[in-house]
Amino acid sequence: MSKKINIGIVGGAGYTAGELIRILLNHPNAVIKYVQSGSNNGQQVASVHRDLLGDTELVFSDIDPQQVDLLFLCSGHGKSVEYLAKNIVPETVKVIDLSHDFRLKRDGNPFVYGLPELNRKAIQSSDRVANPGCFATGIQLAILPLAAAGLLKDDVHIHAITGSTGAGQEPTKTSHFSWRDNNLSVYKAFEHQHLGEIGESLKQAQPNFSHAVHFIPVRGNHTRGIFATSYTRFDGTLADACQLYFDYYRTHPFVHLTDENPDMKQVVNTNKCLLYLEKHGDQLMIISCIDNLIKGASGQAVQNMNLMFDIDEKAGLNLKAVAF
């Protein structure tokens, strides 16, 4: 009999929680015991996440941390710290936080940064994991092989576009349909909050890295998916770079190097990251594309769960891309 994991989900009404529930309902080891939402208590989960109609009879309710093996924290930034301060979570209960609250290193932070392609062994032995940000995931996967080889020798430049779901479910001036449709805009140029975790990971992989990471985020007119283009100086050939990336990701099941320029629909609805390389003069260009809600959030959280509970890393994550 396969190992069963009893799960509670805090902040169950948002986009990431909806994706998480959908994945876990089809996971061979997962049993969702509780889904909590302060504004929807007593309502059926499928009345909020309407794609789940016919798939579950779960009702939003309070969570008894004594009755679960794992808590997913899916509330907004700042809410995870608040929840853990107000609720007694036994040390035997593992926690995966999908907010920004525990991603950055600081004294007293017990959470391991949950990028499996960087910290797989640490995740496997941890009871507390901070899931990376969506932009941070796509960007780090694009440049980590260079850092791990000590080959980031200049500034890194990144232009990346994200779908509206990256802004959360609550409508804002720049996320509601009439503003977002047929529209593009730059925001938080050079100062996006994900730069902190990107910088920490690069320093972990290449301790002597001291150059700037220049990041231009763009709001796209699509609902989901991140398409990031990065470039930096690289002294080797394209073949050298491809071999470097292939070797780095050889044992990581969700990152794939492609020799054809990719498009975003190849990854939407999957836990995949596709990487494509080109060499232009002394610059190496890396295209990286992920689904911001899956590899950039809920799918990666399930991948971390699999590692923490010593089950198949791909369990529950063989998902079909939308493709067209």
pLDDT of residue 243: 98
User: Helix (H, G, I), strand (E, B), or coil: what is residue 214?
Assistant: strand
Answer yes or no: do 83 and 148 share one domain.
no
pLDDT of residue 159: 97
> Does residue 320 sit within a domain?
no
Nearest to 293 by CA among 8, 87, 5, 51: 51
Answer yes or no: do 233 and 304 share one domain.
no
Bridge-partner residues for 141, per DSSP? Answer: none
Answer yes or no: do 251 and 239 share one domain.
yes
What CATH number is given to the structural domain containing 210?
Answer: 3.30.360.10
pLDDT of residue 170: 62
135: exposed, middle or buried (Cβ count in 10 Å: 0-12, 13-18, 19+): buried
- Residue 273 annotated in active site: no
Which residue of the set 134, 242, 273, 289 is catalytic?
A: 134
> Does residue 321 sit within a domain?
no
Query: What is the β-pairing status of strands 283-290 and 273-280?
Result: antiparallel
Answer yes or no: do 65 and 151 share one domain.
no
Nearest to 201 by CA among 319, 116, 90: 116
Answer yes or no: do 199 and 286 share one domain.
yes
Answer yes or no: do 104 and 126 share one domain.
yes
What CATH number is given to the structural domain containing 86?
Answer: 3.40.50.720
| Cα angle, residue 7 at apex, residues 6 and 9 outer, rounded to 5° | 165
* 8 Å CB contact between 147 and 211: no
**pTM, whole model, 2 decimals?**
0.94
Answer yes or no: do 138 and 41 share one domain.
no
pLDDT of residue 168: 57
pLDDT of residue 169: 60
183: exposed, middle or buried (Cβ count in 10 Å: 0-12, 13-18, 19+): exposed
Phi, psi dihedrals of residue 320, rounded to the nearest 5°? -90, 130
Domain that holds residue 216: 134-292
In tens digits, the chain (324 residues) has pLDDT values of 478 999 999 999 999 999 999 999 999 999 999 999 988 999 999 999 999 999 999 999 999 999 999 999 999 888 999 999 999 899 999 999 999 999 999 988 999 999 999 999 999 999 999 999 999 999 999 999 999 999 999 999 999 999 887 655 666 666 667 677 889 999 889 998 899 999 999 999 999 999 999 999 999 999 899 999 999 999 999 999 999 999 999 999 999 999 999 999 999 999 999 999 999 999 999 999 999 999 999 999 999 999 999 999 999 999 999 877
- Total number of residues shown for the chain: 324
* 8 Å CB contact between 31 and 6: yes
> Does residue 183 sit within a domain?
yes
> Does residue 272 sit within a domain?
yes
